[in-house]
Structure 1
């Protein structure tokens, strides 16, 4: 027999099912009937009242109760793909299919709990995955569930009460002024000579350097225009994009010695083009492969490692050259706003953050200033 429970205060009913579980039911303001379930009458009544309050506040999940897998695929294809870069779309797709779906894909979206997500992060950590990867998964899930919240598919974003592991800030590897000179000398006559020279004097990102065209360089006025970036994406090949932010679109004044190097580099490139003939790919790139096409990032990494070895310099990432430029500018006592403009940082706090690992030079400058001011009192 179906055992009827008492009506709570207000609308809705609570009844016991044949399987022993309790069921609460009520009609929302749009006329649809909703159900909640519990193991006891009191638990079910509490859930019923919560659902009714959410209905009154407009936060009740009324959308289709998809599984996490189906929802994430829909969100990725319909919301993200039309609005984000291909590289971001590919990154999200990998995170979803590699880490999230195997662990959470079978859950109903509305039944996804904080402990499910916390268990995923714990499991990823035990497998030796980096904190950065776990943070990326957390960011993706938070973004996706925020969208589900806007669509009334869930009543809350459960990632808001889950704490992923914190990323410990690593010390960046940078070269000092003398090491920069050594690296520049080691690059002379090598395939990466122009790449290294521009990287060490402009602070440009690798993708910006590889997308640089001769039409972006005014040799007479000594100005370089950063207008695009390029990435190699598996199954898509080389993909060009505009810089991520407005500040990343910037103009850089080049040193005279770099202008002279560019002029010589252009002559050498024209000779190579004649040698290659019809095989030449006319992309008008400043830094390119032997047939005019994009220079392979893996090749750059390989050649860069050899250069560091031959110069007797410690191992570092190519992106560390960018940090090195900013560090060198600090040593030259260049003001942060000018460094921000050169680097194309959207926020001055990003620029100031770069200064953190080279504060010794600034501290010495401060100490010297105090010596100068107060030495007459000692």
Structure 2
């Protein structure tokens, strides 16, 4: 009679065995995202690797945290990923946009699919359908408002290429986490190539328009803000989140550390800049130093006039009572200012584009502009302002053409001042 096989793992620790392909597989029961207990499998190159991965999932399950399983539907997995993973990595407004994207597009289109059976073809078919489907009809808005397909006149309101690309990126991020947790062998969404959306067109201010803008701004209460926006290229949130302690008016510099944003839970709040590159120290033009000092004096007068109702926020740009300026109100105020100044309508962000464009046209190095704008990579700067660089290239070529001429004329060679390497 053979001796009974010795049990090496306790109850609840799952099972571990080596597969034919050499990898180790561990399996155990965990709390799934839908509230039931389901069997989950993880893989590792060694027995210990697989055991550690399974132990981590069982520990999370015992703490009441749901664990995604491969036999979950895409909809259940996306809910788990959004509520247990992405919420810890994303800023609140980004998390809200992800949630909206999942609710409106991903869950209706792919939510019923099994996560483990999701294929590249499924993703490609979903994205193709998303590009061509009228969203009024898909979201049921035509029935609610009694228009579009509900009255037999579809408006064919399809999503932009930019939105489709965003939906694709959210799906890729979610599935990438499933791969990292060994729930999927590969990210099928990465195998789908979408059409790159055309960059949003913007029309920056010309040099003449910029001078007109600055001239009109001198009579505005937020003169210093408009000066900083056009002369330094700071983002709207960075300007509204600027604190007096960040300004060194004697040294002529400012440190960009915060961005004022409205969130669903905290309302208007100053958040750290989105990336490390966005947190930067920049030099201030003399005009900005003068206008900031003048603004400081005006704010002190408003403080005295407000008396006890003054809210000491420490912000440079505030309401007449010291509170933070709402970014949405700033957008409306900016539109009214352009109308009074007789300037064409542009977005506030186009002031930033105007700064970079004017600097490029004056021959300022792209690296300097990248640091000023706080871009994470120089490729971002080069990509956004490719149209300006192309125009400068054409001007350079025409300059060279003037030197070389168009025929075999006997021109006197220009004096050479330096060796080109």
* Equivalent of residue 394 in structure 2, options 355, 363, 373: 363
Q: Which of 349, 369, 374 is matched with 2:379 structurally? A: 349
Map 1:157-176 → 2, pairs under 5 A: 157-176=187-206
Evaluate the alpha carbon distance shift between residue 311 and residue 56 of structure 1 in structure 2; reply closer, same or farther with a 3 A threshold: closer
Give the drift of 1:247. Answer: 2.2
**TM-score of the superposed pair, with normalisation by structure 2:** 0.72
Q: Distance in 1 between matches of 2:376 and 2:43?
A: 41
1:70, 1:89 → 2: CA distance? Answer: 17
CA shift, 1:213, in A, is 0.4
Distance 2:393 2:226 in 1: 27
Unmatched runs of 5 consecutive residues or more in structure 1: 1-26, 34-53
Relative distance call for 1:315 and 1:144 in structure 2 (3 A) is same
1:325 partnered with 2:358:
no
Task: Give the Cα–Cα distance (whole angstroms) in 1 for the partners of residues 44 and 227 of structure 2.
Answer: 64
CA distance in 2, matches of 1:296, 1:225: 21
* Structure 2 CA distance for aligned equivalents of residues 31 and 276 of structure 1: 67
Is the deviation greater in 340-349 or in 307-316?
307-316
Cα deviation for residue 111 of structure 1 reads: 2.0
> Is 1:309 matched up with 2:345?
no
Measure, in 2, the Cα distance between the counterparts of 1:31 and 1:247: 42
**Cα 1:305–1:31, aligned 2, differ >3 Å: closer, same or farther?**
closer
Match of 2:111 in 1: 105
Consecutive aligned runs of 4 or more in structure 1 exceeding 4 Å deviation:
27-33, 54-58, 372-375
Query: What residue in structure 2 maps to residue 278 of structure 1?
Result: 308
What SS class does the counterpart of residue 175 from structure 2 fall into? helix
How do 1:328-339 residues align onto structure 2 when only pairs under 5 Å count?
328-339=358-369
Q: Report the 3-state secondary structure (helix = DSSP H, G, I; strand = E; otherwise coil) of the residue aligned with 2:88.
A: coil
Correspondent of 1:207 among 223, 237, 242: 237
TM-score of the two chains, using structure 1 as the length reference: 0.79
Aligned to 2:85, the other structure's residue is in SS state helix
| Secondary structure at the counterpart of residue 376 of structure 1 | coil
- After the TM superposition, which of the residue ranges 150-159 and 284-293 deviates more from structure 2? 150-159
Matches within 5 A, 1:1-378: 30=25, 63-125=69-131, 126-127=133-134, 128-358=158-388, 359-361=390-392, 363-368=394-399, 371=402, 376-377=412-413
- What is the distance in 1 between the residues matched to 2:27 and 2:360? 64
Q: Given that residues 134 and 165 in structure 1 are in contact (C-alpha distance below 8 angstroms), is that contact kept between their aligned partners in structure 2?
A: no
> What's the Cα RMSD here?
2.8
> 2:278 and 2:113 mapped to 1: Cα distance?
41
SS at match of 1:260: helix
Quick one: distance in 1 between partners of 2:177 and 2:325?
Answer: 39
Q: 1:236 to 1:99 in 2, by over 3 A?
A: farther
| Counterparts of 1:284 and 1:88, CA distance in 2 | 27
Is the alpha carbon distance of 1:64 and 1:340 closer, same or farther for their aligned partners in structure 2, counting shifts above 3 Å?
closer
- Give the 3 Å change call, closer, same or farther, for CA 235–241 of structure 1 in structure 2: closer
In structure 2, the CA distance between the partners of 1:184 and 1:114, relative to structure 1 (3 Å rule), is same
Gaps of 5+ in 2: 1-17, 29-41, 47-53, 55-68, 135-157, 406-410, 415-421
C-alpha distance in structure 1 between counterparts of 2:385 and 2:179, whole Å: 40
What does residue 46 of structure 1 align with? none
C-alpha contact (below 8 Å) 1:183/1:307 kept by paired residues: no
Structure 1 residue matching 2:113: 3-state secondary structure? coil
Q: CA deviation at 1:122?
A: 2.8
Q: What secondary structure, in the 3-state scheme, does the structure 2 residue paired with 1:294 have?
A: coil
Question: 2:256 touches 2:281 (CA, 8 Å); kept in 1?
Answer: yes
The 1:56/1:72 distance shift into structure 2, 3 A limit, reads: closer
CA distance in 1, matches of 2:43, 2:305: 74
Which digits, 9 at most, give the CA deviation of each residue in 1:220-240, with x for residues without a partner? 111111111122123441233
* Contact residue 281 and residue 292 of structure 1 kept, 8 A: yes
